[in-house]
A and B are shown apart, each in its own frame.
Chain A
Amino acid sequence: MSGVMIEAKDLTKKFGQFTAVDRVSFTVSKGEVFGFLGPNGAGKSTTIRMLTTLLTPTSGTASVAGYDILKQPDRVRENIGLVAEKVILYDRLTAYENLEFFGKLYGLPEKVIKERAEKWLTLLHMDQWMHTPVMKFSTGMKQRVNIARALLTEPPVLFLDEPTLGLDPQTRNLIRKFIADLKNHGVTVVLTTHDMLDAEILSDRVAIIDHGKIVAVDTVENLKKLVPNKENTNLEDVYLYFTGEEIRDKALSKAKSEGRGHF
């Protein structure tokens, strides 16, 4: 648990007049699971897209695994894995062909790809489906292969954008255990989720983001103490205390009209 793996400095992204992410700064230490919570359209995914070099910040910058996202994007890319809101797999290729393709893009030799594909797919209980086209899989099966894809390069930093969204409790449980296990192996994880249980169990620290700004960062325990007049506070209470109970359709539709969809 030493050393800074991610450092965001005044990260800002504007889409036209709309500020999706507004001067966001935070650090994530090595081996930490960093929960990223916030209402729809708050700027979670936009922040992750900037950290993974998929979006260029309007201002500010960040470093990931010691490399600047603007100056050394390829170095950053070599050190990260991403599970995004959409499953990054080709439907018509088999699980293995998908892993092979993405592995080769990172310059991994065929032998290493094969070993690791077997290893990760076995750990995710997908080994018997290795040579089946992805289009035949259920959502949960796809997500498990998708996670194996993100881990194929065994990156020190992993970004998980709602990895358990729309999955059944069994798969959710499997993935949760899996993330906890990664953490034990020293992988740094940035996790966005709407599942408060996921966030509470897995995160060392949690950042709550609203309207593009970070409104609170701390351990779950410390954040709970901030909620007044409540016994047995859980993370959901903390979340609602900081972000209010108003529904955020407005921000979402605004963001969608800017052409990037979910934030």
Chain B
Amino acid sequence: MKKTIRDLFLIARKDLLEFSRDKMRLFSFFLMPVFMMIMVGFIFPSENALKNACIGVADNDQSRYSRSFLKMIEAAKTSDGEKIFKIEHYDSLTALKEAIKTHEINGAIYIPEGFSTKLEENTQAELIVVEDQANPQASQIFTQVLTRMVDGYSKQISLQKLSLSLKQPPSMLEAIVEPVKAKITGIVKGNYNYFEFVAPGIIAMIVMTAVLTGLAASIAREKEIGTLDGILISPVNRLSIVLGKAVAQAVRGLIQGTIVLILAIFLFGVKINGSILLVFLILILGIFSFVGFGILVSASAAEQETATQILFMFQFPMLFLSGVFFPISMMPAFMQAISKIIPLTYAIEALRKVIVLGGGIDSVKNEILILTAFGVVATSISVPLFKRMITR
């Protein structure tokens, strides 16, 4: 037992030493999580992502009303205190549409002539929001924000008008204009955005796929170049070999996971509401749950290339089925059934509970049990199979 553990660390240390000497691999190792995080972080827009968005404005009314509305838009700030919009001025609706086509601006507001006259005559005035249909995600958020502002502005005007005619202070009249107001509250403080939903998934995904492919590639590579024979003819327990390699991969995976976590916190403002130690415990158990599968693939594949290809085939559907990007509850029933047999699903679920909802160990004990069970079962099946396959 003692020798098994000692040999395990010997092999892990050797693997890491070898890895640390390979400059190209080191370079891509540190860059991969950075790329991944920047991609995901900026591609999936959130309201916070809408910073200094360039919009075009054409004010054909040039009135007190139109100017105060534009001033309000110009002053709008995100929760981090940055301006949401950067305003460019144009002459006409046609000029605005042209500017969107040439991607000079991301959207536009057109205030037609007679806007203020209509307001003063107590008829309904209209202003036009032009959206960029070539960029549906961004334009959805953009129109959402603008519509909300228009609503707010129109409410303000109606309050003013009512208070003038009813001779009451505006604060008293708010209940008449807007009798019901939805107050949105979460379990934890602060705004929740899509990035906070994907971040735990991305962390789990990067760590676990790195370990899975790394383990398979590392065993297959040693098999290919012949050094595995050197380990196999020494009096070393076969369990030490596979677990040693798994530990080396786990160390690498956890380093990458930490990079992702740091980027998520400092670059994208993700807050870890629960315990960071619990986050790492879940990641380690997640890695453990994957080790068996990695061993099986690498033992059955004769070459490194084959191993990588087999894993890639599983990896892609797994990313979608485990709920990294979309909630599992929104998937069709048969997909939900498949997602239940993927350990990544439970790791992500647990990470979301801890990172987003601030859950403690109690809230994730089921996931912890399931991940451990996956690991124990898969490893105890795969190690004897590894022994058999390798001396086939």
A-side residues, CB < 8 A to B, are 52-56, 74-75, 77-78, 80, 82, 84-90, 92-93, 97, 101-102, 104-107, 133, 149, 259
Per-position 1/0 for B1-24, Cβ under 8 A of A: 001000100100010011001100
Question: Measured between C-beta atoms, what is the minimum distance from B234 to chain A in Å?
Answer: 4
Complex Cα gap A248–B233 (Å):
30
Closest to A135 in B: B21
**Interface locus among B83-91, B139-147, B221-229, B286-294:** B221-229
Complex Cα gap A55–B233 (Å):
10
The 9 closest A-B pairs by CB, nearest first: A86-B226, A88-B230, A92-B21, A105-B234, A74-B235, A77-B235, A56-B391, A92-B18, A101-B14
B392→A106 contact, CB < 8 A: no
A90→B233 contact, CB < 8 A: no
Can you give 24 A-B contacts (C-beta < 8 A)? A52-B233, A54-B229, A54-B391, A55-B391, A56-B391, A74-B235, A75-B235, A78-B235, A84-B226, A89-B230, A90-B227, A92-B18, A92-B21, A93-B14, A93-B21, A97-B17, A101-B10, A101-B14, A102-B230, A105-B234, A105-B236, A106-B234, A106-B235, A149-B230
Contact residues in A for B236 (Cβ distance below 8 Å): 105
**Residue in A82, A86, A107, A133 whose beta carbon sits within 8 Å of that of B225 in the complex:** A86
Question: Measured between C-beta atoms, what is the minimum distance from B22 to chain A in Å?
Answer: 6
B17→A86 contact, CB < 8 A: no
Closest to A73 in B: B235
Tell me if B281 is interfacial: C-beta within 8 Å of chain A: no
B226→A88 contact, CB < 8 A: yes
Contact residues in A for B302 (Cβ distance below 8 Å): 259
A87→B7 contact, CB < 8 A: no
Contact residues in A for B22 (Cβ distance below 8 Å): 92
Complex Cα gap A55–B302 (Å):
15
Question: Measured between C-beta atoms, what is the minimum distance from B179 to chain A in Å?
Answer: 73
B18→A105 contact, CB < 8 A: no
**Residue in A85, A105, A133 whose beta carbon sits within 8 Å of that of B226 in the complex:** A85
B229→A86 contact, CB < 8 A: yes
Complex Cα gap A77–B238 (Å):
13
Per-position 1/0 for B365-392, Cβ under 8 A of A: 0000000000000000000000010011
Residue from the set B7, B10, B391 with the largest chain A CB neighbour count within 10 Å: B391
B14→A82 contact, CB < 8 A: no
Closest to B10 in A: A104
Tell me if B231 is interfacial: C-beta within 8 Å of chain A: yes
Closest to A84 in B: B229
Per-position 1/0 for B245-276, Cβ under 8 A of A: 00000000000000000000000000000000
Complex Cα gap A207–B111 (Å):
99
Contact residues in A for B230 (Cβ distance below 8 Å): 82, 88-89, 102, 149
Residue from the set B10, B234, B392 with the largest chain A CB neighbour count within 10 Å: B234
Complex Cα gap A53–B236 (Å):
12
Contact residues in B for A86 (Cβ distance below 8 Å): 225-226, 229
A77→B234 contact, CB < 8 A: yes
A93→B17 contact, CB < 8 A: yes
Complex Cα gap A53–B388 (Å):
12
Question: Measured between C-beta atoms, what is the minimum distance from A9 to chain B in Å?
Answer: 19
Interface size on B, residues (CB 8 A): 23
Contact residues in B for A85 (Cβ distance below 8 Å): 226
Closest to A81 in B: B233
Find residues 202-253 in chain B having any chain A CB closer than 8 Å to their own CB. Answer: 225-227, 229-236
Question: Measured between C-beta atoms, what is the minimum distance from A96 to chain B in Å?
Answer: 12
Complex Cα gap A101–B17 (Å):
11
Complex Cα gap A6–B43 (Å):
66
Per-position 1/0 for B132-176, Cβ under 8 A of A: 000000000000000000000000000000000000000000000
Quick one: given A56-B391, A89-B227, A93-B14, are A133 and B233 in contact (CB under 8 Å)? Answer: no
B14→A90 contact, CB < 8 A: yes
Complex Cα gap A85–B227 (Å):
11
A107→B10 contact, CB < 8 A: no
Contact residues in A for B234 (Cβ distance below 8 Å): 77, 102, 105-106
Closest to A88 in B: B230
Contact residues in A for B235 (Cβ distance below 8 Å): 74-75, 77-78, 105-107
Quick one: given A84-B226, A105-B10, are A53 and B21 in contact (CB under 8 Å)? Answer: no
Question: Measured between C-beta atoms, what is the minimum distance from A255 to chain B in Å?
Answer: 14
Per-position 1/0 for B282-307, Cβ under 8 A of A: 00000000000000000000100000
Contact residues in A for B229 (Cβ distance below 8 Å): 54, 82, 84, 86, 88
Question: Measured between C-beta atoms, what is the minimum distance from A73 to chain B in Å?
Answer: 8
Complex Cα gap A56–B7 (Å):
23
Contact residues in A for B392 (Cβ distance below 8 Å): 55-56
Closest to B25 in A: A92
Complex Cα gap A104–B14 (Å):
11
Contact residues in B for A259 (Cβ distance below 8 Å): 302
Question: Measured between C-beta atoms, what is the minimum distance from B305 to chain A in Å?
Answer: 14
- Beyond the given pairs A84-B226, A93-B18, A106-B235, 12 more chain A to chain B contacts, judged by CB atoms under 8 angstroms and listed by A's residue number, are A53-B391, A54-B232, A55-B391, A82-B230, A86-B226, A87-B226, A88-B227, A88-B229, A102-B234, A104-B10, A105-B10, A105-B236
Contact residues in A for B3 (Cβ distance below 8 Å): 107
Contact residues in A for B227 (Cβ distance below 8 Å): 88-90
**Residue in A56, A82, A93 whose beta carbon sits within 8 Å of that of B233 in the complex:** A82
Closest to B222 in A: A90
Question: Measured between C-beta atoms, what is the minimum distance from A19 to chain B in Å?
Answer: 15
Question: Measured between C-beta atoms, what is the minimum distance from A32 to chain B in Å?
Answer: 21
Complex Cα gap A149–B227 (Å):
12
Question: Measured between C-beta atoms, what is the minimum distance from B386 to chain A in Å?
Answer: 13
Contact residues in B for A74 (Cβ distance below 8 Å): 235
